[in-house]
Structure 1
Amino acid sequence: MQLAFTERNVLVTGGASGIGLACARAFRAEGAKVVVLDRAPGPDDIDTVRTDVTDESSMAEAVATAVARLGGLDVVVGCAGISGPVGTPLVDTSAADLAAVLAVNVTGQLLLAKHTYPHLATGGAIVFLASDSAFVATPGMAPYCASKGAVVALTRALAVELDRVRVNCVAPSVVDTPMARADLGDSAIDNAGFPVQTADEVARQVLFLAGPHARPINGQALLSDFGYSARSAFPA
């Protein structure tokens, strides 16, 4: 299948590492022009604009810079995110930690959509990174689960509100990224008793949703979890 990204202009947040970097490289391999936004410096082969996705003035300036470098905007991918305090019960989680997770994972996506939509070409696409944690939960992840549930709701809301572009999100299960390894440890990823995705696999899901061949798909969350959420608790 031809993905039709040749000379398309793509902006990716969180593109200095992990899923964001995989997305940036996947789009570029398909012929797109790509600029990433990140707090951290990107690899030498990635055109990076430094910004804080939770700071509106910084985001507005960074988006304007990226659009000027690209010469337009066709696809926006929101990959910037943090996990917050993993394994910490809610009763032991500070308000500051709660606010930090929501600021990056929710406010950051809202600001991204707000400041990129005026530049997006008709028929363009926004793809957010959500998580299977929007649908299923494990103890000690309440702030993260809440934030990713909000991303799914935001996806649906913007699909209704933004009339000339499509808005979807990808909701993957555990992905082998530097963030996941920092949260869970190398052994937990390397010896997991469950399937673990690669960042490149998630990037291909993003490209599918962003392309013109996915034109009928709007306001949807692509839950990619190896079928785990479909399993019944019935002992059969």
Structure 2
Amino acid sequence: MVSECVALITGAAGGIGGAVARRFAAGGVQLALIDRDFPEPVSDALILPADLSDAAQVADAFDAALDRLGRIDMLVNVAGMMIFKPLAEHRADDWQRLLAVNLVAPALLSGRALAAMRPGGAIVNIASVHARRTSPDVASYAASKAALVSLTRSTAIEGKPLGIRCNAILPGAIDTAMLHASPNIAAGKEVIDPADIGRPEDVAELAWFLASDAARFITGEDVVTDGGRMGWL
């Protein structure tokens, strides 16, 4: 990708999303950033406050980025939420709210991206190792991330004739607020060796690679980045 490329990144005020934004900025890409709010100012970026659980706001944010910047070459769907409770305690609105953010928003943005991107465009979805192996009390999160992996494959299939690639990243334990908020860890239901906790920058570097021309022959893949932890579970 050349320097005039535009990347649209969701969840850009969070740990992984912020790291992705910094890495793409370092690569010379112009940024359009979506999140509910940005506690710190972000220079040289188009800031698009939006609630990704609201389909209308999702569409408006994409259209605003395209209108203001004239093109979108990279889409990185980072934003996500997690509900910590047993499956038996999940209510319908829990599922609807979580799936709206974790699955429907990436699907809507990807659909718009397929229609707007030029050949050479790339979509990267941030899923989770929970799509393959999970733990107690996060059934809705795990299901949404498994569905996001499936969406990635479908997007890659539809994008191939258009010259647009789509891949997913499945991070393991990453040092973010979401990880530290987990009651499973606090209660000892899930024990993670500090050596198995990655940095947001680890995910960001992989996202940059998958979105760049260096990965031009890779599409429809889901790549685990967990320091090898899943291999020992």
The residue number in structure 2 matching 1:109 is 106
Q: Which runs of 5+ in 1 are unaligned?
A: none
Take 1:25 and 1:186, find their aligned partners in 2: how far apart are those partners?
Answer: 29
1-structure distance, mates of 2:185, 2:92: 29
Query: What is the SS of the residue equivalent to 1:54?
Result: coil
Identity of aligned residues (%): 35
| 1:198 corresponding residue in structure 2 | 199
Which position in structure 1 is the counterpart of 2:230? 229
Contact 1:76–1:126 (Cα < 8 Å) also in 2? yes
- 1:16 is aligned to 13
Report if the CA contact (8 A) 1:59-1:115 is conserved: no
* Residues 157 and 138 (structure 1), Cα distance of their counterparts in 2 relative to 1, 3 Å cut: same
- State the Cα deviation string for residues 141-166 of structure 1 (Å, max 9, x = none): 11111000001100011111123200
- Provide the C-alpha distance between the structure 1 equivalents of 2:46 and 2:94, rounded to a whole number of angstroms: 31
Counterpart check, 1:154 vs 2:151: yes
**Comparing 204-213 and 117-126, the one that deviates more:** 117-126
In structure 2, the gaps of 5 or more residues are none
> Quick one: which amino acid aligns to residue 96 of structure 1?
D
Aligned residue type for 2:81: I
Letter in 2 for 1:166: R
CA distance in 2, matches of 1:149, 1:187: 25
Give the structure-1-normalised TM-score.
0.88
The reply on whether 1:70 has 2:52 as its aligned counterpart is no
Distance 1:105 1:206 in 2: 17
Match of 2:115 in 1: 118
- Please say which of residues 204-213 and 46-55 is displaced more in the overlay: 46-55
Q: Deviations over 1:162-186 (max 9, x none)?
A: 2320000100101111222233599
> CA separation of 1:139/1:119 partners in 2, compared to 1, >3 Å: closer, same or farther?
same
Are the equivalent residues in 1 in contact too, given 2:136–2:184 (CA < 8 A)? no
User: Which residue number corresponds to residue 171 of structure 2?
Assistant: 172
Letter matched to residue 143 of structure 2: A
Q: CA RMSD in A?
A: 2.1
Please tell me the residue identity of whatever aligns with 1:176. Answer: D
Match of 1:89 in 2: 86
| TM-fit CA distance, 1:118 | 1.8
Contact kept, 8 Å, 2:131 with 2:143, in 1: the verdict is yes
Amino acid at match of 1:129: I
Q: Call closer, same or farther: CA 1:226–1:210 in 2, change over 3 Å.
A: same
Distance 1:218 1:192 in 2: 31
Distance (whole Å) between structure 1 residues aligned to residue 112 and residue 23 of structure 2 = 24
- 1:74 touches 1:125 (CA, 8 Å); kept in 2? yes
Residue 74 (structure 1) shift: 0.8
Q: How many pairs does the alignment contain? A: 225
Deviation at 1:187, TM superposition (A): 7.6
- Going from structure 1 to structure 2, the CA distance change for 1:225 and 1:118 (only over 3 Å counts) comes to same
Once the two structures are TM-superposed, the CA of residue 132 in structure 1 deviates from its matched residue by 0.4
